[in-house]
Amino acid sequence: MKPFDLLEYAYTKFPNKTALRSAQNETVSYKKLFKRSKKLGCSLAAYGVKPGDDVIIYGRNSIQFIEAIFASSFIGAIPTLLNINWSAEVAVACVRDPEARVAAAFVDAYSEEAILLARELVKLGIVVIALDQAIPGTISYEKLFDGEAPSDTLEPFIFCENDTILQLYTSGTTGVPKCVMLSRKNFEAWLLMTIVDERWTHDDVMLITFPFFHVAGLCFFKSIVMGAEVVVGSGVRAEDLEENIAKFSITRCGFPPILLDRLTARMEQTGSSFPLLRSVGYGSTCISPELMERCNFYLKCDMRQAYGMTETITAGASLTPEEHTSSALLNTVGKPMLGVRLKIVNEFGALCQEGESGEIAIKSDAVMKGYRGNPSLTNEVIQDGWYYTKDIGYLDEAGYLHIQGRKDDMIISGGENMFPSELVDCIKSMGAAVEDVAVLGVEDKTWGKIPVAFVVKQSNSDITEREIVDTCAKKLGRYKKPRQVFFIDSIPRGQNGKVIAEDLRTIYRQLVG
């Protein structure tokens, strides 16, 4: 089963039902989506795209983005999704990868970097389809639907179980992006695991705000196979979310906790409500009891947390709506999903005991095929089917998984170990005075590394550095208090809500001169 098979199934069952809806209220039925995707695939084939070729998709979320994925899948090409936050230089480097077989690229030329990328791809002899404005040497997207393509009689390509059917890149915010190859087997396993875990229904209306190039943005596949409706969101400001959820009768959506905090604050101001909203998913970090209380009061729907990563297509652990009723479980990410096994190992690879911290490893059929062109790294992180995540955590006596931080993020200060998440949670517990916070380990000649806190205060807050330091010292111990506290306007975060560490380090260097 490949991406196009999901669409073909939904088309045969629900041809006249709305499949996609844009924020501008443009709608596409399953019948139209099927026919346009097939026609687009035939046109790609006419331009020389063959099974096994990479088809680059670089753009903002749009109906055309989804059509391009299904079209590529139809002819056996591999949709390869690039991060639009990269520079053109980084994107071109990924295309030039000796292992890549790029035959075509869909480019949304909405920015100077995107235009530069399109021009560079044209120079490389790649067929470039412009999703937005025309660029010399590119083909207009809608032109591919004109007339009869010579290959209109093509049948859907059949992938084998271990064939690569989709490629995503890791974020690249802390290093060179890695191309994650996902097989048909991975894709099928992920669909089953997450559809069951998330309790999808045919009448769901899903608002998607995560970018499609991000693994969390792939949730539209689940909507398609269920014959549900996808609404392609227009923005992630609290007012955008509020408007879209109300306007399009959204039943299901997902946000990082930072956006949940802003949305519920907005609802408190405007008095809005969402009576049709049934389910909200979140990830990237745990939710505080205070925010959970606000979500219960304002959203009045099921809450679900998921733990996973690109290399497992988000399949890992989850905290169900029923488990969210226990405040004691909110600092966990739940238990393994269907078909997933978890273990915690120490630095020597031995199993850890209950409550003992170590590296989290995940085993399931959704674990990636590997990193393209990097077998040594693949063999390092995948051993006997287990994916070693570099996340540090532990399993409690009831089998719930607790995340403490990244292996690489551990701060060793004066011989004592600590994780940034410990300080973050402590500072957040100081209440409404703190809007956002992040913590970094910074090199220090005396201590090795020291914890440095970056805090965004609420506009009316008079919280001080001394109060923050004293609170951490009292609750965590003096060796875990931040050695420096900087008040800044905003924490640099990616669209998945995670802190962009390199940007934060740049801010630190600017602050200390």
Classified by CATH at the fold level, domain 3-159 comes out as Rossmann fold (3.40.50)
Q: Does residue 151 have a pLDDT over 80? A: no
- Give the pTM: 0.86
Nearest one of 365, 391, 349 to 312, comparing CA atoms: 365
Confidence of residue 152 (pLDDT cuts 50, 70, 90): low
Exposure on the CB side of residue 151, measured as CA atoms within 13 A: 20
* 493, 499, 502, 507 alpha-carbon torsion, rounded to 10°: 70
Rounded to whole angstroms, the Cα distance separating 424 from 353 reads 26
Q: What average pLDDT score do residues 78-94 get?
A: 91
Residue 302 near residue 279, CB atoms below 8 Å: yes
Classified by CATH at the fold level, domain 412-512 comes out as GMP Synthetase; Chain A, domain 3 (3.30.300)
DSSP letter (8 states) at residue 203: T
**Which of residues 200 and 495 earns the better pLDDT score?**
200
Rounded to whole angstroms, the Cα distance separating 314 from 367 reads 9
Rounded to whole angstroms, the Cα distance separating 370 from 379 reads 8
Residue 162 backbone dihedrals phi, psi, to 5 degrees: -100, 10
Confidence of residue 324 (pLDDT cuts 50, 70, 90): very high
> In the prediction, which pLDDT does 60 show?
94
DSSP letter (8 states) at residue 451: E
Q: What average pLDDT score do residues 334-351 get?
A: 95
Please report the sign of the dihedral spanned by the C-alpha atoms of residue 203, residue 206, residue 212, residue 216. Answer: negative
> In the prediction, which pLDDT does 172 show?
44
Rounded to whole angstroms, the Cα distance separating 375 from 388 reads 15
> In the prediction, which pLDDT does 173 show?
40
**Which of residues 151 and 376 earns the better pLDDT score?**
376
> In the prediction, which pLDDT does 350 show?
95
> In the prediction, which pLDDT does 411 show?
87
Helical H runs in 277-339? 289-298
Digit-coded pLDDT (tens) for 159-203:
999 999 999 998 644 457 899 999 999 999 999 999 999 999 999
| Residue ranges of the chain assigned to CATH 3.30.300.30 | 412-512
Digit-coded pLDDT (tens) for 409-454:
788 887 777 888 889 989 998 988 899 999 999 988 788 889 999 9
Helical H runs in 313-405? 375-381
CA 424 distance to own-chain centroid = 21
What is the pLDDT of the chain when averaged over all its residues? 92
Give the contacts of 418 (CB within 8 A, at least 6 positions apart).
Answer: 410, 411, 451, 476, 479, 480
Q: What average pLDDT score do residues 112-128 get?
A: 94
Confidence of residue 478 (pLDDT cuts 50, 70, 90): confident
The CATH class that applies to domain 189-349 reads alpha beta
Residue 206 near residue 219, CB atoms below 8 Å: yes
Q: In Å, how far are 118, 328, 353, 403 from 397, measured between CA atoms? A: 54, 13, 9, 15
Digit-coded pLDDT (tens) for 14-68:
999 999 999 999 999 999 999 999 999 999 999 999 999 999 999 999 999 999 9
| Residue ranges of the chain assigned to CATH 3.40.50.12780 | 3-159, 189-349
Q: Does residue 305 have a pLDDT over 60? A: yes
Give the contacts of 417 (CB within 8 A, at least 6 positions apart).
Answer: 410, 411
- Structure tokens that stand for 112 in this block: 């100077």
> In the prediction, which pLDDT does 140 show?
93
Digit-coded pLDDT (tens) for 370-389:
999 999 999 999 999 999 99
Q: What is the DSSP string of 216-276?
A: GGGGHHHHHHTT-EEEE----SHHHHHHHHHHTT--EEE--HHHHHHHHHHHHHH----TT
Percentage of the residues of the chain whose pLDDT score is greater than 70: 98
> In the prediction, which pLDDT does 286 show?
83
Q: Does residue 150 have a pLDDT over 70? A: no
Rounded to whole angstroms, the Cα distance separating 241 from 253 reads 10
> In the prediction, which pLDDT does 149 show?
60
Rounded to whole angstroms, the Cα distance separating 201 from 225 reads 10
Give the contacts of 458 (CB within 8 A, at least 6 positions apart).
Answer: 432, 433, 434, 435
> In the prediction, which pLDDT does 264 show?
96
Residue 251 backbone dihedrals phi, psi, to 5 degrees: -105, -20
Exposure on the CB side of residue 388, measured as CA atoms within 13 A: 19
